[in-house]
């Protein structure tokens, strides 16, 4: 039986295959640009919202995909079955240096486009999660060069959370969220040899929470 998460993951996969964000896919399909946003996948009372058959037909037409293509993507999601109490999961992997380039994230910080590697995790990651490989010593002593950070875009962040921040200028930082107001985002450095940073909200493209690190 198909789950709500698998159907939406298949839509995201089709979008990524064509180097589109969820918003870009919706627009190409002639739908409202917010139709496939993460916030639209559940109702205000928390009930899951499913894409209509009309929306699926428009997606396939816009991407030149067939029903068999869509079913194949759905089956790949179903094949991630539980083993010994957890579900193996493969997530997109990118180096920090690459993450500063355009084309790898949508406006909300979710992974899109091509050029990603893949890393296998021992447990299922939340929908939309991805991995960033640490490069250099700016995150010592907590994270070392070569460590892999599992990042969840769209997650609620609180003071003291370890986060990845991408600025409008394309700078990508891993810091501790010190304070976030309607006007500013203040970040503390993981490495005492690197300065703390403060940005106006308008200078920040997105903030994503670091879930855990593979060391």
Query: For the chain, what are the domain ranges?
Result: 1-79, 86-215
Percent of the chain residues past pLDDT 90, beyond the cut: 25
Contact yes or no for 147/133 (Cβ under 8 A): yes
**Would you state the pLDDT for residue 105?**
83
Contact yes or no for 127/5 (Cβ under 8 A): yes
**Would you state the pLDDT for residue 6?**
76
Structure confidence by residue, pLDDT tens digits, 50-78: 989 899 999 889 888 888 777 776 665 55
Q: Which two tokens stand for residue 152?
A: 């969840």
CATH 1.10.260.40 fits 1-79, yes or no: yes
Question: Of 91-100, 114-123, 135-144, 155-164, where does mean pLDDT reach its minimum?
Answer: 114-123
Structure confidence by residue, pLDDT tens digits, 141-177: 888 888 999 998 878 899 999 999 999 998 999 999 9
For β-strands 204-214 and 148-153, DSSP reports them as: antiparallel
Does the fold of domain 86-215 match that of domain 1-79?
no
pLDDT of 37 above 80: yes
pLDDT of 137 above 90: no
Contact yes or no for 113/104 (Cβ under 8 A): yes
Q: Name the residue among 172, 159, 161 with its Cα closest to residue 205.
A: 172
Give domain 86-215's CATH architecture. Answer: Ribbon (2.10)
Mean pLDDT of 123-136: 81
Tell me 125's DSSP state: P
- Reported as a pLDDT band with limits 50, 70 and 90, residue 79 is very low
**Would you state the pLDDT for residue 76?**
56
């Amino acid at each position: 039986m198909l789950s709500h998460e698998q159907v939406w993951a298949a839509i995201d996969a089709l979008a990524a295959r064509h180097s589109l964000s969820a918003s870009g896919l919706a627009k190409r399909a002639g739908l409202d640009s917010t139709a496939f946003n993460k916030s639209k996948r559940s109702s205000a009372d928390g009930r899951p919202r499913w894409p209509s058959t009309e929306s699926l037909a428009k997606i396939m037409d816009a991407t030149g995909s067939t029903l068999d293509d869509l079913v194949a993507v759905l089956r790949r999601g179903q094949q991630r079955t539980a083993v010994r109490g957890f579900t193996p999961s493969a997530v997109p992997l990118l180096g920090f240096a690459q993450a500063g380039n355009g084309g790898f994230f949508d406006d909300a910080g979710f992974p899109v486009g091509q050029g990603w590697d893949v890393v296998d995790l021992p447990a299922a990651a939340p929908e939309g999660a991805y991995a960033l490989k640490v490069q250099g010593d700016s995150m010592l002593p907590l994270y070392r060069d070569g460590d892999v950070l599992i990042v969840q875009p769209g997650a609620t962040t609180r003071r003291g959370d370890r986060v990845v921040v991408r600025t409008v200028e394309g700078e990508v930082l891993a810091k501790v969220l010190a304070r976030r107001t309607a006007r500013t985002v203040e970040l503390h450095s993981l490495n005492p040899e690197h300065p703390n940073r403060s940005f106006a909200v308008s200078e920040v493209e997105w903030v994503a929470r670091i879930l855990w690190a593979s060391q």
